[in-house]
Structure 1
Amino acid sequence: MTELFYLSAVEMLRLLRERQVGAAELTEAHLRRIDEVGGEVNAIVTLTADRALEEARRLDEGWARGHWQGPLHGLPIAFKDLTDTAGIRTTYGSPLFAGHVPTADALVVRRARAAGAVTIGKTNTPEFGTGSHTVNEIFGATRNPYDTGRSAGGSSGGAAAALAAGLVPLADGSDMGGSLRNPASFCNVVGLRPTPGRVPDASPAAAWFTLSVPGPMARTVGDAALLMSVIAGFAPTSPFAVREDGSAFARPLDTGVQGLRVAWSPDLGGLPVDPRTAAVTARAPEVLAGLGAKVEQVPLDLSDAEDAFRTYRAWYYASTFGDLPRRRLGPNVAWNVEQGLKVTGADLARAERLRSRLFQRMNAFFETFDVLLCPVSQVPPFPVEQPYVTEVDGTPMPDYLAWMRSAYWISVLHAPAASVPCGFTTDGLPVGVQIVGRPWEDLTVLRTAHAFEQATHHGDRRPPLGSAGR
């Protein structure tokens, strides 16, 4: 029998609606799980147990009177420590904000709470979400539930590890260069980087910046779509917000992939890929072909994304964090700010030209193909004590960013991309595969990911933690 905390969010909702379980009982089950194994992974860094139980009891009282709060009624959720939560400490992973308590909720929090989600805490992140390894001076490192000696990825590593460990059924994340997708791949869960503007954000410093997006994380594609149905939808706080609401994501995903045109790129045009990762992702095309998709391996050159991504990212860091005291910033954030202060108008013009040409070239590409299939990460989870990957299949990495090109090159495309569990290395480390769609066709990505998930069931494998892992 599946433990209550490892049921899908969709199944939890069914039990809640049928009154087979109450919101308070569900919350208590997750709090016990956090108490049992939370210390092993260090995923939830601020716990709001009393508040969560109070919210859950109010929901139970309401449902006893016939009031169902919304699509997330009674489901525990933890928000990334980059996401503002009114009245709950939000540190951004930085000592500069170690005691910071926001007075207002971010949009995704407002929408999730209004839909009935129960806020159970905050998930760990590197300082200001910088880097694909979740560690900071305040809370330390988040560990991978499948091997606690390994990284959970980042920057939404706390969210991914919490999901994999059964601490929450739903979590939010954010993604600039892979921060949703990389930890999902490392922790055998699902992460969706939506089309920019699909889940609007509000930035006082960089409102027009399209590389960074909020998005859903869950253990199943269906659960990720459920959360998307709530957090997606227009908001005037973003100048490029998509006008459609999130209702399409509440529809069934089981449309199949018969006839779907799939482009397969094992290395995105020559990127080094660890042989262990390559061996796992190489099975993905066969799965979709076996389901009736038309799969073709393609030559693909996304190298123009390198300069474009790094230039825009550097500019963003200088714009957003340039006024903070540099001596008190961690090395990754400080380095990014320094790079940004060197960016010239000519650099931005070049980046815009590169990105524009790439966007038009990929428009033509997606006239031939419906989705692109490729690796999420170029390596499997690495040792947790290691700051970042310095070498991939014998190729030295020049800095802490370079090993994540397979994710951040995709970020430049303005396209939706999901990480879905693809299997395990011979030593039991999770590997995800990336499904990339046309801009604004997030639902096609989710439907393809759902078909892959249902055919493989890799996401059903649980980590060896606590009583549920024995």
Structure 2
Amino acid sequence: MTSDDLIRATACDVVDKLNAGEVTPLQLLDALEARIAAVDGAVNALPTRCFERARRHASALMQRPLGDRGLLAGLPLPIKDLTDVEGVLSTQGSKIFKDHIPARSDLMVEHLEANGAVIYAKSNTPEFGAGANTFNELFGATRNPWDLSRSAAGSSGGAAVALATGMAWLAHGSDMGGSLRNPASFCGIVGMRPSVGRVAHTPAFKIDRTLGVQGPMARNVEDLALLLDAMSGECAADPLSLPSPADSFRSAARYGKPPRRVAYSPDLGITPVDPEVAAITRKAALRFAEAGVVVELAHPDLREAHECFQVLRAFDFAISKAELLRDCRDQLKPEVVWNIEQGLKLTVDDLTRAEAQRVAMAARTLEFFETYDLLLTPATIVSPYPIEHRYVAECDGHCFDNYVEWLAIVYAITLVCCPALSLPCGFTASGLPVGLQIVAPPRGEARLLAGALVLEEILGLRGTTPIEPRKALQPAEM
């Protein structure tokens, strides 16, 4: 099997080859190092690499018998640069942490390595993950490989681009206001925000921070399920963590019960959406009917999402970054300064109201899922935008109040604690990818993956990545 064949293989196929002894983790690292040298200069997805550490871990893993090397069996994996990896530069995309080399990895990284992952790189992210465009003053911008003049979104933009260009088979990401789902949509790959507690991680600043979660990214649904299996599991150090289910998520994707009735909404009743994106996602959602699924226009009542998310997100910034504002204000980007200051202005009444709004929206959403198996929406309200724009300021004639508001279609789902993924569902007239957000009720990952695989097979877009980075899509490629 050639290096190019390996790069283009699915993660599930590569793991099968690892378990059969047809390829070694060291050979995979060699293939990745060559691929990164060939393409990352154009896209800047993996600015920090740790191949020496990776080869040590791979060599140690290879001392164990085949079939006893964990679920990933030695598959290499990049970690988003918001998450600590022992002995590896971990910057959070901030000049403040430009020299930070942690002595211990996050629990999630330790769990992945125990499951046979080999960490070889850190993927680029905006400063502290703030903003859905992956750029920072340490490493620069990550470019969209479908059109290098466009944004890869964020904050898991480096991870999404690594997958889209063949520099990763699977990738770790995280999501508060769409940070897994937006870059997946912009880059033509699959990214999932799991339920709260599904992936254990090291608590920081507050035990019950439930807006942000860790999650898997992949090129297709079954690969995504494989990584979710490897990431999942209970850990006493994370009190919110959930035990792994009796049946694997990969099994659920393959053999789970398909949906009977789904709802589609172009806007959740709370946001503008680009007409072309709405048309592409609606067409994709309606194709569920080819599997005998009833598709109806509907959505839960999420009218408080804007106010609620802005307050709770600002509070999260205040508790986690107020000290940085006091000590390092001149090294923070303006959007982060604004968010921290908004959080420091909050009153107990503000927080009480926001939490009550969240409880009410979550209850209405659970009632909605008594009628519908899944909810479908655009994963982003626009197609990939010019990379020099810090964020989306306007959509379909509506001007947004701040750099976060354009993300409502994903952050509303964050608030109601539902698992959700972005599935590639089509392309714009200019050849840029569009993602469909698929949402299930809380702890409904099995249902979500089964439905997503059904639609993925209908749409026939599996295998459109990896691609070579391109300046602009040529007409013959559209």
Q: How does 1:23-422 map to 2 (within 5 A)?
A: 23-63=25-65, 66=66, 68-245=68-245, 248-255=248-255, 258=258, 260-298=260-298, 300-324=300-324, 325-422=328-425
CA displacement 1:25-52 (0-9 Å, x = unmatched): 1211111100000111100010112222
- In structure 1, distance between residues paired with 2:259 and 2:455: 14
Runs of at least 4 residues off by over 6 Å: none
Q: In the aligned structure 2, how far is the partner of 1:215 from the partner of 1:358? A: 23
- The percent of aligned pairs where both chains have the same amino acid is 44
Return closer, same or farther for 1:46/1:227 CA change in 2, 3 Å cut-off: same
Q: Does structure 2 conserve the Cα–Cα contact (< 8 Å) formed by 1:23 and 1:56?
A: yes
Determine whether 1:449 maps to 2:440. Answer: no
- Work out the CA distance in 1 between the residues paired with 2:238 and 2:321: 20
Are residues 199 and 425 of structure 1, via their aligned partners in 2, closer, same or farther at CA, if it must alter by over 3 Å?
same
Q: Which piece of structure 1 moves more, 10-19 or 456-465?
A: 456-465
User: CA RMSD, aligned part only?
Assistant: 1.9
Distance 1:353 1:122 in 2: 38
Q: 2:304 and 2:461 mapped to 1: Cα distance?
A: 34
Summarize the Cα distance change of 1:122–1:246 in structure 2 as closer, same or farther, 3 Å threshold.
farther
**Distance in 2 between the 1:261 and 1:67 partners?**
40
Stretch deviating more after TM superposition (296-305 or 209-218): 296-305
CA–CA distance in 2 between the matches of 1:142 and 1:412?
A: 28
How many Å separate the matches in 2 of 1:119 and 1:299? 40
Which 5+ residue runs of structure 1 have no aligned equivalent?
Answer: none
The Cα of 1:250 is off from its aligned counterpart by 3.7
Do the aligned partners of 2:374 and 2:439 also contact (CA within 8 Å) in 1?
A: yes
Q: TM-score, normalised by structure 2?
A: 0.94
- Superposed CA deviations along residues 285-332 of structure 1, whole A, max 9, x for unmatched, are 222111121211115431211111111110110110001122221111
Which residue identity does 1:36 align to in structure 2?
A: A
Q: Report the alpha carbon displacement of residue 257 of structure 1 after superposing the two structures with TM.
A: 6.0
Distance of 2:268 and 2:138 partners within structure 1 = 36
Distance 1:409 1:466 in 2: 32
Residue in structure 1 matched with residue 429 of structure 2 by the alignment:
426
* 1:440–1:59 distance in 2 versus 1, CA, 3 Å: same
Give, in whole Å, the separation in 2 of the partners of 1:135 and 1:302: 31
TM-aligned CA distance change 1:305 to 1:246, over 3 Å: farther
* Counterparts in 2 of 1:80 and 1:258: CA distance versus 1, 3 Å: closer
CA distance in 2: counterparts of 1:246 and 1:50, whole angstroms: 36
Task: State which drifts further: 17-26 or 239-248.
Answer: 239-248
Q: Provide the C-alpha distance between the structure 1 equivalents of 2:458 and 2:51, rounded to a whole number of angstroms.
A: 37
- What's the CA shift string for 1:262-297, capped at 9, x where partnerless? 011111115211122112101122221111212111
Separation in structure 2 between the aligned mates of residue 57 and residue 235 of structure 1, nearest angstrom: 27
- Are the structure 2 counterparts of residues 459 and 384 from structure 1 closer, same or farther at C-alpha, using a change threshold of 3 Å? farther
Whether the 8 Å contact between 1:135 and 1:142 is mirrored in structure 2 is yes
Q: CA deviation at 1:239?
A: 3.2
Letter in 2 for 1:149: S
Q: CA deviation at 1:16?
A: 1.8
* Aligned-residue offset at 1:17: 2.1
- Post-superposition offset of 1:462: 3.1
Contact 2:380 2:409 in 1 (8 A): yes
SS in 1 for 2:70: coil
Structure 1 distance, partners of 2:361, 2:182, is 23
What is the rounded CA distance, in whole Å, between the counterparts of 1:160 and 1:67 in structure 2? Answer: 29
Conserved? CA contact 1:303–1:409, under 8 Å:
no
Instruction: Specify the alignment match of 1:22 in structure 2.
Output: 24
In structure 2, distance between residues paired with 1:245 and 1:462? 30
Residues 317 and 337, structure 1, Cα contact 8 Å, conserved in 2: yes
Displacement of 1:240 in angstroms is: 2.5
CA distance 1:259–1:453, change in 2 (3 Å): closer
The CA deviation string for residues 245-273 of structure 1, in whole angstroms up to 9 with x for no partner, is: 58522425233665522011111115211
After TM superposition, the score normalised by the length of structure 1 is 0.95
TM-superposition CA deviations, 1:350-375 (whole Å, max 9, x none): 10111111111111111111111111
- The unaligned stretches of length 5 or more in structure 2 are none
Q: Is the 8 A contact 1:228 1:246 kept in 2?
A: no
> What is the alpha-carbon distance in structure 1 between the residues aligned to residue 374 and residue 469 of structure 2?
39
Residue 158 of structure 2 aligns to a residue whose secondary structure is helix
Give CA-to-partner distance per residue, 1:52-85, whole Å, 9 cap, x none: 233334444544xx46311111211000000110
In 2, distance between residues paired with 1:317 and 1:256?
A: 39
What one-letter code is carried by the residue in structure 2 that aligns with 1:138? L
Residue 227 of structure 1 and its aligned partner are, at CA, apart by 1.0
Q: Structure 1 residues 83, 98: closer, same or farther in 2, change over 3 A?
A: same
The aligned amino acid for 2:409 is S
Maintained 8 Å contact 1:258/1:292: no
Letter in 2 for 1:40: A
Aligned residues: 467
- Return the letter of the residue paired with 1:427: S
CA distance in 2: counterparts of 1:258 and 1:292, whole angstroms: 10
1:464 deviates by 4.7
